[in-house]
Amino acid sequence: MLLDDLGEPVPLDAVPSRVVSLVPSLTEAVEVSAPGRLAGATDYCTHPATLDLPRVGGSKYPKIDRILALKPDLVLANSEESRPEDVETLRGNGITVWVMAAPATVPDGLASLRRLLTQCFELDQPDWLVAAEEAWRTPAPVRARAVVPVWRKPWVVLGRDTFGGDVLLRLGIANACAGHEDRYPRPKLDELRARFDSGEADLLVLPDEPWEFTADDGPDAFPGVPYVLVSGRFLTWYGPSLVDAHGALSAALAAMP
């Protein structure tokens, strides 16, 4: 029997053909690699751009009744975004769930996707996955240390063992908060400013999701600090987007002050 990333059984009698995805990254990966298998997705599943599916609410708070009404043979979840109680409710209603562990690195994410696609969906290794592995294989030398907020009210930043942190590190940008005990610390603004004042950090990286940072929303809290605006999807999604993410993020960071 198949086991998901958390070691839980995934009892399937056949290759899944009605799949509900609660993870935008997995939605994109499955639709690109096995088109036609998805029966539902969250409100935040925006890619591929042509995706036209019934929606089941948010990633964190999905509408369980909508999921059950779609009669899926598999639901895709994530250990970081999906609440354990929702996963258990689905399983208690006889729904098979595959939970992907939140990857701490790019190789972790790609390895998990390979196992899902080749073992669960019985696909050949997708070309995009091979291309993503090649693009992200060799880290660049560190040239800056960044604070990376992902939310503003309150401030939340990337801490230890995050996918986005590893993406930046492979592009030569170390995470100034990587030594924090939390994966997503909630420091006070003064604490973040102090990292720049002390020289611990010299760059502010601002993604456009989950908080939509802009030139007018984010840099204002850090007067005089060099900043770069980047795509949140390219920074945090694991899947086909990683193929374009390397070039797009590299270009954005090349323009940093």
Q: Element (H or E) spanning 38, and its range?
A: strand 38-41
What per-residue confidence (pLDDT) applies to 255? 77
Contact 53, 40 (CB under 8 A): yes
The mean pLDDT values, 10 residues at a time, for the chain of 257 residues are 93 95 96 96 94 93 96 96 95 96 96 96 96 95 97 96 97 96 96 96 96 96 97 95 96 83
139-254 CATH pick, 3.40.50.1980, 3.40.50.2300, 3.40.50.300, 3.40.50.720? 3.40.50.1980
Contact 28, 49 (CB under 8 A): no
Closest CA to 101 of 35, 38, 163, 32: 163
State whether CATH 2.70.170.10 applies to domain 11-100: no
Closest CA to 179 of 210, 206, 157, 152: 157
pTM of the model: 0.93
Domain ranges of the chain: 11-100, 139-254
What per-residue confidence (pLDDT) applies to 117? 97
What per-residue confidence (pLDDT) applies to 59? 87
* Structure tokens that stand for 85 in this block: 């109680």
What per-residue confidence (pLDDT) applies to 1? 81
Q: Is it true that 11-100 and 139-254 share their CATH fold?
A: yes
Amino acid found at 13: D
The residue to which tokens 């948010």 are assigned: 58
